[in-house]
Amino acid sequence: MIRVLLVHDTYLLRTALAALIGRETDLEVSSTSWPGAVATSRTLRPQVCVVDMDSPDAVGPRGIRELSRRCYEGGDGFSLLALASAGRPGPLRRAYEERALGFLSKNASPDRLVEGIRHVAKGERYVDESLGFGFLEASEMPLTRRELSVLSLAAEGASIGEIARSLCLSNGTVRNYMAAITRKTGARNRVDAIRISQCAGWV
């Protein structure tokens, strides 16, 4: 019997997905939202965590990083299977950085999901073929970590001055970063750079 914890923010959809996984006689599934993921993994002690990477909470303080830490450093030894959208390389890259073992497109069939769960439960890597191009895009993320920090603050509506104070930089340096970001993303202007980066899931 493989114990599975499904992490997805919408109750209706995670309940439906859990019911579908639970039809398999070798899988025993529970589900929770991102804010409850770490606590539930502690009590449930699953072998596999299936995580929805498209939620903003997946990259928040109780998101994939914390879950991954428990998984690989806490000695609990479960494996992560990430659900991602093919057109958004950002969350895919994030799951890769946090050492997910499996990667499945949300447009895959339920059969593939079940197959993926069984693979990662055995400690085997599982990558859905339809995510191949997404991985290519994820590997080509053009921005540095510092540029991403600047862009994230800009996307929240911070002014040049506020970004500068927040990151202990001069206004001129922030302007230079913003110009580099606009150039590297092929954007027309700052708002366009934010739009492009949000569509790709980088910020």
> Is residue 156 part of the contact set for its own copies (CB under 8 A)?
yes
Kindly write down the DSSP assignment for every residue of the chain, as one continuous string. Answer: -EEEEEE-S-HHHHHHHHHHHTTSTTEEEEEE-GGGHHHHHHHH--SEEEEETTSGGGGSTTSHHHHHHHHHTSS---EEEEEE-TT-HHHHHHHHHTT-SEEEETTS-HHHHHHHHHHHHTT--EE-GGGHHHHHHHHT----HHHHHHHHHHHTT--HHHHHHHHT--HHHHHHHHHHHHHHTT-SSHHHHHHHHHHTT--
Residues 165-194 within binding reach of its own copies (CB under 8 A): 187-194
> Is residue 148 part of the contact set for its own copies (CB under 8 A)?
no
Rounded least distance, CB 35 to its own copies, Å: 13
**From 4, 17, 37, 174, residue interacting with its own copies (rule: CB under 8 A):** 17
Rounded least distance, CB 72 to its own copies, Å: 26
Rounded least distance, CB 69 to its own copies, Å: 27
**From 106, 118, 175, 184, residue interacting with its own copies (rule: CB under 8 A):** 106
**CB under 8 A: which stretch of 8-16, 57-65, 73-81, 88-96 binds its own copies?**
8-16
The residues binding its own copies (CB under 8 A) are 10-13, 15-17, 19-20, 83, 85, 104-110, 113, 154-159, 187-196
